[in-house]
């Protein structure tokens, strides 16, 4: 029976200096325990200046990984380079402080993708919040055109599909993965849901830290991807960013990117997200007014 190779790509930079050595060791150890036998772990290192390369050499000599250490333009550039060097039919992306906690996870995902001839797969994940707590992130694929539906760590991709769509767009330093998922859906590539939690990952601290840049990237992503479907004025983009509100004409075109039998569910999930974001915005405004009155 044919079993395709899988390449797990991890970008690194100064793992030792950033106190991530233990996390990185856990990632390596748990990946080595996977039951699936055909895994390539490819490390793309951004010319680390501490002892990271020495650690990588030890792991390579022991047969755990392969690595390249060279300058890059950020994690998404590093991941693109990893895809270009990958041997696997399927690829996934883990940061050095993420890990697959289910040792049969990769085998299970590959079996599902092979059976369904899927272009990408998404699944639930445990996310570690910077404040210390852990929560389960359930994918919201029907809300992709409003918000990011899941972490990239909770996805597998067919390598040939990433090549077709042009990899991650590196001009987006924070949200290139969100842009990629939108492009996959707009291109009507086949995605499947795998109902099992196999990965633990860290919530994107950079997105939370650089909120102004993240919002600017969101605006650019919506304009770039929807402009051929609907006139993307500043007002339209503002309402998507603030309220997850999409004009009806555009919404109908986007709903067609899902199977016809899923349209009602798509619309239902759209309304839920819109109502939730609208209520959240009202609460923020009310708190601001209350704080001004108390000042």
Tell me the C-alpha distance between 106 and 109, whole Å. Answer: 5
DSSP-derived secondary structure for 81-147: HHHHH---SEEEE--TT-EE--TTHHHHHHHHHHHHT-SEEE--EEEE-TTS-EEEE---GGGTTTS
pLDDT at 229: 98
pLDDT at 1: 54
Task: Please give the span between the terminal C-alpha atoms of the chain, in angstroms, as a whole number.
Answer: 71
pLDDT at 175: 97
Q: What is the CA radius of gyration of the chain?
A: 20
Please state, in angstroms and as integers, the Cα–Cα distance from residue 78 to each residue in 26, 40, 61, 183, following that order. 21, 16, 22, 20
List beta partners, residue 156.
121
pLDDT at 70: 97
Q: State pTM to two decimals.
A: 0.94
Kind and range of the H or E element at 12? strand 6-12
Kind and range of the H or E element at 67? strand 66-69
Please state, in angstroms and as integers, the Cα–Cα distance from residue 168 to each residue in 20, 72, 227, following that order. 25, 14, 19
Instruction: State the residue for tokens 């022991």.
Output: 62
Tens place of pLDDT per residue across the chain (295 aa): 568 999 999 999 999 999 999 999 999 999 999 999 999 999 999 999 999 999 999 999 999 999 999 999 999 999 999 999 999 999 999 999 999 999 999 999 999 999 999 999 999 999 998 888 999 999 999 999 999 999 999 999 999 999 999 999 999 999 999 999 999 999 999 999 999 999 999 987 888 888 999 999 999 999 999 999 999 999 999 999 999 999 999 999 999 999 999 999 999 999 999 999 999 888 877 777 777 777 6
Which DSSP symbol is given to 237?
H
């Amino acid at each position: 029976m044919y079993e395709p190779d899988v390449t797990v790509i991890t970008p690194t930079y100064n793992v030792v200096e950033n106190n991530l050595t233990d996390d990185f060791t856990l990632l390596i150890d748990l990946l080595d325990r996977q039951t699936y036998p055909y895994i390539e772990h490819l490390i793309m290192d951004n010319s680390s200046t501490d002892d990271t390369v020495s650690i990588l050499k030890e792991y390579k000599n022991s047969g755990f990984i392969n690595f390249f250490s060279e300058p890059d333009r950020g994690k998404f550039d590093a991941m693109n380079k990893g895809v270009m060097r990958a041997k696997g039919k399927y690829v996934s992306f883990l940061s050095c402080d993420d890990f697959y906690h289910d040792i049969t996870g990769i085998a299970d995902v590959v079996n599902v993708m092979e059976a369904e001839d899927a272009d990408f797969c998404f699944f639930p994940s445990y996310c570690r919040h910077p404040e210390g707590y852990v929560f389960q992130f359930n994918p919201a694929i029907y809300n992709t055109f409003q918000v990011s539906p899941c972490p990239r760590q909770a996805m597998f991709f067919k390598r040939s599909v990433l090549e077709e769509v042009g990899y991650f767009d590196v001009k987006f330093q924070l949200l290139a993965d969100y842009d990629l998922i939108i492009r996959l859906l707009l291109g009507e590539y086949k995605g499947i849901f795998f109902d099992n939690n196999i990965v633990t990952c860290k919530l994107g601290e950079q997105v939370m830290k650089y909120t102004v840049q993240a919002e600017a990237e969101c605006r650019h992503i919506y304009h770039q991807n929807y402009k051929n479907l609907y006139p993307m004025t500043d007002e339209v983009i503002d309402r998507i960013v603030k309220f997850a509100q999409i004009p009806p004409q555009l919404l109908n075109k986007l709903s067609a990117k899902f199977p016809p039998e899923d349209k009602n569910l798509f619309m239902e999930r759209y309304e839920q997200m819109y109502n939730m974001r609208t209520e959240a915005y009202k609460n923020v405004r009310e708190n601001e007014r209350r704080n001004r009155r108390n000042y």
